[in-house]
Amino acid sequence: MKYVMGLDYGTDSVRAVIVDTADGRELASSVKYYPRWMAGKYCNPQSNCYRQHPLDYVETLESAVREAIAQTPAGTAGHIVGIAFDTTGSTPVLTDSEGTPLALLPEFAENPNAMFVLWKDHTAVREAAEINALAKSWHTDYTAYEGGIYSSEWVWAKMLHVLREDESIRAKAYGWVEHCDWMSALLTGTTHPRSLVRSRCAAGHKALWHPSWGGLPPEEFFTALDPLLSGFRAHLFEETSPSNKRIGYLTDEWAKRLGLTTKVAVGVGAFDCHFGAVGAQISPGAFVRVIGTSTCDVMVVPYEEIGDRLIPGICGQVDGSVIPGMVGLEAGQSGFGDIYAWFKRVLEFPVNQILGKSNLMDAAAKEKLIQEISGRIIPELTSVAEKIPIEESIIVATDWMNGRRTPDANQLLKGSITGLTLGSTAPLIFRALVEATAFGSKAIIDRFLENGITIKEVIGIGGISLKSPFVMRTLADVLGMPIKVARVEQACAFGAAMFAAVAAGVYPTVETAQEAMGQGFAFEYIPDEKNHSRYRELYKKYQAIGRFTEDVLT
């Protein structure tokens, strides 16, 4: 009996699964929400500032692992042989010379600039623009393998923004680390900059790392960007590692804290969507969509197919970032489920502000009613919206409420809703938002196809793919492609478990782990050709409105 653990750090919570390496059977799972994050600490949504405290990650790690183990028969923990992590990204933090995130030092314990800068933090738009301008004027375009456009969601823009903003942080900062790298380093005692193993996935897709120019760009590039970055390159890394490698084993301290043994191998981490794609059994020709608050799209392409082509406007193409021996391609949308959640919050205004202050019922009854109404808004909107004939879908929206990630990153963009009349209803608007997220998905697929990348199938993973038939049917109709939905609910954590099995030596390759542990697909959405034909016309309007808002309103 050999079991492994996969841990998936999402935007709001960490998910832990215990999986049997023999057949992929899930023994137990646990989900723990970050307490400080859920309390709204250290964030300012109005300025697109989203920070997370490292203690949120540490505390939920312990509680999730122990809770999952408690669900299994006695003795199971002794048979766990590997553990691996995936996280959101780019979610970096500045560290001191020992590799300690600054927020773990007493003097910075409550300073948001000392914390992990969450992927969705867009405070570094100016810095991203400067990186792009410098890269285009330099003798080498260091953004070439990251789609040719550097994003404010990525590490160098974020770290430069924090250094510029906070002098106290500037004096102590020595380097930085991505969340996915820090978790594995923490558990193996390898957090010092000289021993820290860096993920090929994170460095290649977000940190301008590529072997053709010797790893990271040269010191001269960073100091030309801003002298505040002087010395950082020398404190960081030259080499990176794909996630099929083992960093080490649990330290005595962490084995005790988690209730495991020191024989548990710890693998190299990566970003959630890349592990999720592996958990969904990605192979060449599969376009895997991790559909949640945002989306992340992943493909793997053999060397002979990609050749020396560079796909413009995506989130990078990196050798071995998903499956070693193939090039990983990444794209995605900055907002998907978050857009539905935004509309829900708009509709909640009278519930919270009027019902919440009403004296017509006692506080307990009022709170229960508010919770009931809030929980039923999206299901009721869906129930009505999915019955609206497509011919009546005259409202057209763009999906840029949180900027645009791909194709062609632009975090300054704002969303738009057009075609409103005095007869427009909440379900009609909701349907337009669902269609907008599908149109944004089509724009990404079109970019791959236009550049000669073969797409044989679309695979959906994540909560929305399993729980929202309306959204998935709309997506299939807009794309004109069938969409398979992965059977495993926690595909990212499941992919992490597969990598843990490889790191522990149970399987020699990621592909053999997928073959043995893969769980297949739950169902498939087949597009309606009549709807697809109608959506082709609406998509042209989406494109026209998008061009207008980008050219005129930004």
Q: What is the mean pLDDT of residues 161-171?
A: 96
pLDDT in tens, 91-117: 999 999 999 999 999 999 999 999 999
Judge whether 157 and 48 are in contact, CB under 8 Å.
Answer: no
Alpha carbons 342 and 256: distance in angstroms, whole number: 42
Give the domains, in start order, of the chain with CATH numbers. Answer: 3-280+488-519 (3.30.420.40), 337-487+522-552 (3.30.420.40)
pLDDT in tens, 271-296: 999 999 999 999 999 999 999 888 99
Q: How many CB atoms lie within 10 A of CB 548?
A: 13
- Residue among 300, 93, 82 nearest 181 (CA): 93
Alpha carbons 496 and 68: distance in angstroms, whole number: 15
Q: What is the mean pLDDT of residues 388-399?
A: 93
Burial class of residue 537 in the structure, from the number of CB atoms within 10 Å of its CB (0-12 exposed, 13-18 middle, 19+ buried): exposed
Q: How far apart are the first and last CA of the chain?
A: 58
Per-residue pLDDT band for 354 (boundaries 50, 70, 90) equals confident
Q: What DSSP string describes 108-144?
A: GTT-GGGSEE-TT--TTHHHHHHHHHHHHHSSS-TTG
The pLDDT of residue 507: 98
Instruction: State the pTM of this model.
Output: 0.90
Alpha carbons 161 and 132: distance in angstroms, whole number: 15
The pLDDT of residue 553: 76
pLDDT in tens, 43-83: 998 899 999 999 999 999 999 999 999 999 999 999 999 99
> Which DSSP category does 45 fall into?
G
**Bridge partner residues of 80 (DSSP):** 3
The pLDDT of residue 46: 87
